[in-house]
Chain A
Amino acid sequence: QKEVEQNSGPLSVPEGAIASLNCTYSDRGSQSFFWYRQYSGKSPELIMFIYSNGDKEDGRFTAQLNKASQYVSLLIRDSQPSDSATYLCAVNIAGTASKLTFGTGTRLQVTL
């Protein structure tokens, strides 16, 4: 069973702090890694993706990938109350255009 694991949370951080969200995956053949944000009752919204080992920054968001450890993370700097949502890690195992395998998501709460 090809799994994507996330801590369900909630992860609570104060406004302005850095939120760190983690994800591990079981299939070493995984090629692409995605972070989606999902507000309650809404659809997943793509935040960013990463393919190569290392860091990728986009505004307040940084994705980090370590293929040797089968680990991908998302850092959110200067967390805002509007960042409160469930963050879904998704993995594309078989290559471009193949299905996404999702984790259960981590619920983030940014407190005032």
Chain B
Amino acid sequence: EPEVTQTPSHQVTQMGQEVILRCVPISNHLYFYWYRQILGQKVEFLVSFYNNEISEKSEIFDDQFSVERPDGSNFTLKIRSTKLEDSAMYFCASMSGGANEQFFGPGTRLTVL
């Protein structure tokens, strides 16, 4: 069964450093999302992406964040200058064009020291 994959599974970085989180959505899916979950808190929407552009973003998704689909398979989230409060699980999700169900990847645990 096709699934969303994410790399790395765990990323440790120093405050102020740039990180890139990578996702490979399910093949032939058209809609892509990033969510995050701070430990013990709810899953929060960051950004959605369709047709090579951002379709929606939350107030969390400020100028420090960017997304890109550099090729036909990868979908990346970049954080330019990480803060302590960026420490969280980051989930990528994708959805096909004819449905309404979002499928989540296994997540990347980001730890900012």
Contacts and interface: CB of A to CB of B under 8 A. Distances in A.
B45 interface: yes
Indicate the size class of the contact surface on chain B.
20 to 34
Interface string A49-63: 101000000000000
A32 B89 CA distance: 25
Interface residues of A, number: 23
Contacts of A46: 101-104
Q: Chain B's interface: helix, strand, loop or mixed, by majority? A: strand
Contacts of A43: 89, 91, 104-107
Residue among A43, A51, A105 with most chain B CB within 10 A? A43
Interface of B: 31, 33, 35, 41-45, 48, 50, 55-56, 58, 89, 91, 95, 100-107
